[in-house]
Amino acid sequence: MPERTAVIGSAQGLHARPAKIFVHLAAQQPVPVFIRVGDGAPVPASSILGVLSLGAAQGTEVVLSAEGDGAAGALETLAGLLAGDLDAEEPDHV
């Protein structure tokens, strides 16, 4: 299963607003995507409760994984989103 590491760039981490933006974009991907912190259990990236349960603060390294046609593109898109500061401005893709 392809994986991609990303570092949370939002000043407040993946709290409610950034998590909502991330989950919304994850749900639009052509493959199911999962996210985990460290060696923790992966949660569906399209689940707001799962993403919030990670408790990912700014600077936290997360691992995204997906499998199937379009997995690499989905991981690239979502990793790029997480690296930005989702608190700073409204992203173009939402």
In a domain, 56, yes or no: yes
CATH of the domain at 33: 3.30.1340.10
Q: Per-residue confidence at 90, pLDDT binned at 50, 70, 90?
A: low
CA distance 86 to 88: 6
Residue 72 CA: distances (Å) to CA of 13, 17, 57, 62, 64: 24, 25, 25, 16, 10
Mean pLDDT score, 80-87: 92
Q: Which domain holds residue 72?
A: 3-83
pLDDT of residue 89: 60
Residue 79 lies inside a defined structural domain of this protein: yes
Note the pLDDT of residue 1. 85
Asked whether residue 88 is assigned to any structural domain, the reply reads: no
Q: How many domains does the chain have?
A: 1
- Read off the pLDDT of residues 57-73 as tens digits, 9 standing for 90 and up: 999 999 999 999 999 99
Residue 43 lies in a domain: yes
User: Does 74 fall in a domain?
Assistant: yes
Residue 93 lies in a domain: no
Q: Which residues are catalytic?
A: 15
